[in-house]
Structures are given as structure tokens and as C-alpha cells.
Structure 1
């Protein structure tokens, strides 16, 4: 017998912490845009993936970074060209969690934990077309910590 949707949701929460929080980028532009806001303390990000919703067809050096309220801004994943070779709508983008890693196309998951402080997760785009919706799950590392779409 297949698990019920309620049972599947409980399993996902047990494995990943929160329900997925999503943020659409809108049309990519050569700018830095906040995706998620971390408040109340540090969080451990358990998954962070992007789904391309509009094809990316021009060169685009793209990365994610953590911009803490206190401290230095740092890369979550290194800038990667996601547009010179077109990235089609529906493509899943991921990375392994190492700051020097590149964004990869297809299924990818965090192989190392990301513990991030109060502040924002931002995307930095150099391209001018396409769109991505990012999905994040987390577990509070400090009591009272939370994440919301920016």
C-alpha cells in the first residue's frame, strides 16, 4: 500500500526539516537580489535547488551568496556560466554545498551542511534572460531561527 500524502509530508519533514520555501527570481538581470531572509539565529540548510522556469539563453555568470547582518558576505556556490550553453525551462539546478563548487544541471544535493547566520541568501546574476525558482528547506540551528522568502 502506498503511503498517504500526510505520511509522505511527515517523512519529508523528518528528513529535511521545514516544508520547502520558494522564491522566484523574476527575469534575471545583471544585479544582486535577495532570495531568502534568515532571522532569529543560525539555520542549517538541508536542501537548496533551483528550477529554471524560463530558459536561460545568454551568457550568465551566476552564483548564490550569504550576506549576513554581521560579518562578511561569502559565496555559497561559485559563479557558474548557466547560459552560454542554453539551460532549458524545467532544468533542475543544484550544487554540493562546497563554496568552490559549481552549479550543476540535473539532480544534485547538498553533501555538506550549510550553517548560515542571520541575514540573506542572495543570487548574483550577470545575465539578462531566463528565470529560476529556488526551493530551500532547513532546520533551525539556534532556537527561534527561521527562514522566509525575501
Structure 2
């Protein structure tokens, strides 16, 4: 049996372009994960995978910081460390600003509705000092020439 369309091609058709960024060891800081250039993009999914366990209290969130305008939360700050979050845990959220980050070893929500972000950055805000997360984002450019790259 031959394969007519590869999995990566199907993902691109359904969700757009894939970009990945590892946080490195979490620290109490705001750190840029992704750069958005050239205009608006539609984020179709964003999922994190804990690669090093988070074992200390950590109020953690993602936010969009546009070049012009006010910074806005993509998800509400959620403690991902008081109850340890082991390596391999998936992190996701439904795209509603007031929602919390959901975590599970194998099943998390992804966006119920896509999120539009303008030129600028997507950042994580971490209050903890251990653990690491790799975030995978998919997007579709809304403006010609708009792209997302790992910071």
C-alpha cells in the first residue's frame, strides 16, 4: 500500500505551519518563546511537553506581547509545580483567556477556537526555578508574509 499524503503534509493542511521551542530550565522570568513578524497569524494549536520535571511552586502562563498595543494573556496563570509535574506530561489549554493550563500524561485540550496574534512575541511567564517545557505551535498566516519563528 502506498502513502499518497504524509502525516506532516496532512498536519500542514489542517493546522498550518509547525514551530517548536524548548524553554530551557525554567527561571522566575518572562521569556520570549516565539517571534511573530510580518503581520497577523492565526494560532491553530499550542501544546507543551514537560521535558524536565517541575517540582517547585510555579505560577506559569503564556502571553502575547504585540509590538504595538497591550500585552494579553493567552491562558490564565496556573500553578504547574506545587503538585509535581513529571517529565512527559502534556500541557494544553482551550484558548479561552480565563481558562487554566490543563495537564495530563497523555490527554490535554488544544484550542477550541484559534487565536489571532499580531506582530510581536509570545512569551512565557514563569515564577518557578526548575523544570523545562517544549512548546509546539501551529499557525496560519492571516497577512501575506506573516510568520512565526522560535526565539
Structure 2 residue 134 is matched with structure 1 residue 133: yes
Q: How does 1:1-150 map to 2 (within 5 A)?
A: 1=1, 3=3, 7-18=6-17, 20-106=18-104, 107-150=108-151
Report the TM-score when normalising by structure 2: 0.94
Rounded Cα–Cα distance in structure 2 between residues aligned with 1:32 and 1:3: 43
1:121-140 CA-partner distances (Å, limit 9, x unpaired): 00000000000011111000
Query: Gapped runs of 5+ residues in structure 1?
Result: none
Rounded Cα–Cα distance in structure 2 between residues aligned with 1:110 and 1:132: 18
Query: Gapped runs of 5+ residues in structure 2?
Result: none
Rounded Cα–Cα distance in structure 1 between residues aligned with 2:38 and 2:129: 34
Rounded Cα–Cα distance in structure 1 between residues aligned with 2:114 and 2:145: 19
Q: Moved runs in structure 1, 4+ residues, more than 2 A?
A: 1-4
Rounded Cα–Cα distance in structure 1 between residues aligned with 2:25 and 2:142: 33
Rounded Cα–Cα distance in structure 1 between residues aligned with 2:97 and 2:116: 12
RMSD: 1.2
Structure 1 residues 141 and 127, CA, compared in 2 at 3 Å: closer, same or farther?
same
Aligned residues between the structures: 148
Rounded Cα–Cα distance in structure 2 between residues aligned with 1:123 and 1:51: 14
